[in-house]
Amino acid sequence: MKDDITNSRILSIWFVLLLLSFCYQKPILFLSSIDRINPRLFDIVSILGVLFYFRFGDAKRPVKMLLWWKYLVLWFCFLTIITIFFYDFPGSINQYVLFYCFKYIQGYFILLLVSKLEFKLIPLVIKTCFVGGVFVFVYCVFEFFYGEYGSVEFSPGKFVNKPMGVIWGPFGNTYFQIANYLPLLSSVIFGYSYAKKNGLLYKLFAVLLSFPLLFTGSRTGLGLLLVSLALITIFNKDFYFLFITAFLALIVSFSSWSDKLLETNTISRMVAMENNEHNSISDRVNLIDEFDISKYHDNGHFLPFFGGGIFVAPRDGKFRIGYGFHNIYVYVFEQSGVVGFLIFLTFIAHTIKGLIINVIANRSDAVTYFFVISVLCFFISQLITGVSAHSWWRGFATNDMNTLRLIILLIASTAYEKNTAIK
């Protein structure tokens, strides 16, 4: 019995460290000038997971969303072999193909470990959302006033230009990570507010934590947040909050505060891009009209079956490492062909079905119920914004953020099963 308690504490600490590792994604050791391969805290926690592997419970029958994600990772592994041996890419490009394959395997391994944990995870997730959110917020405030701007060295010999007043947080050298991290945390905390008597304070806290998004320059981050919070509010029939929010927004729009908002990096960039001939949101949505298979490797002969070259699919002769079409559905097709595309759609269907089942099954547990609702709404928000943005997949300088999203989805999809087993 004592050994079981000790083991549970060790794994609880590991799980908390895992979640907190996502709130600091800067390299902890510089092994190369190639930033993406320098180890992060997440990699250290992954190594601990390997060391603690036999402390985890026995393997259980995986939920459908995890099962189909495994199929997708296996398909990616198969395509890695195909790309290396049949696409005749340079060795310097194939090393990135192997790197991204390894990172997807690493992510699935972590999901497998989380699925084996035999204690309630949702309370720990919510607590670490508060801790991680506060850490990122404080870091962003410090960065705004005392951060480094101009030419910033993010890896040995590698520099990036960071405009004055832009916030990237404790992540990487772009806004992609913070744009994925803060909307997720704010959504979870916002959903949690409905399980508390003083819920308004939690709502305000969730909005405050996401305030740095105004200074990142990311339209995707702001879109993810607004769509997710709106869906959570509508799902909970909180029309009073919607009315108050709309009323306050109307007041701000006719006050001097509107000018200050327009001066923030994200809003000003959004306005500028909407006036741009090729970079508005509608242009991004209509970008699919320009999808031309013949522009890919070998005139796209391999693309319908095996993709254009997994994780590096060159277009017009230019390799796009961890980059691609600004549409999460077209992206998986151009990278992994029709099989990868269909597996992804099946994964989406089973994920939504599993979340809805858990919403219905957890009505008697307010915290779990509203947690699952918030995760469902955030996932739908990703699927909506993903039509014109990169709100899914590893790549686009998001590092390990997709693994975090999958962990949260997995926990929400197994909430009822986990709670019932513990009782």
Label residues 356-369 b or e (16+ Cβ within 10 Å = b).
ebbbebbeebebbb
pLDDT at position 423, please?
Answer: 47
| pLDDT value of position 256 | 59
At 198, list the tokens.
């003083």
What angle, rounded to 10 degrees, do the helices at 176-192 and 366-385 form? 150
Q: What is the DSSP letter of 168?
A: -
pLDDT reported for residue 231: 93
Whole-number Å distance between alpha carbons of 394 and 401: 7
Tokens 């009782």, located at residue: 423
**CA distance linking residue 47 with residue 151, whole number of Å:** 34
Classify 156 as helix, strand or coil.
coil
* Cα–Cα dist 215/179, whole Å: 10
- The pLDDT score that the predictor gives to residue 307 is 86
Report the alpha-carbon angle 148-150-152, nearest 5: 65
Report the C-alpha gap between 292 and 354 in whole angstroms.
35
Helix (H, G, I), strand (E, B) or coil at 327: coil
For the chain, residues with pLDDT lower than 70 are: 1-5, 59-61, 247-263, 265, 270-271, 273-290, 299, 396-397, 416-423
**230 contacts 207 by C-beta, under 8 angstroms:** no
- pLDDT attached to residue 59: 64
Residue 282: what are its φ and ψ, rounded to 5°?
-65, -35
Q: Which 8-state DSSP code applies to residue 388?
A: T
Give the pLDDT confidence score for residue 160 in this predicted structure.
85
d(CA 186, CA 16): 18
Domains of the chain by residue range: 2-422
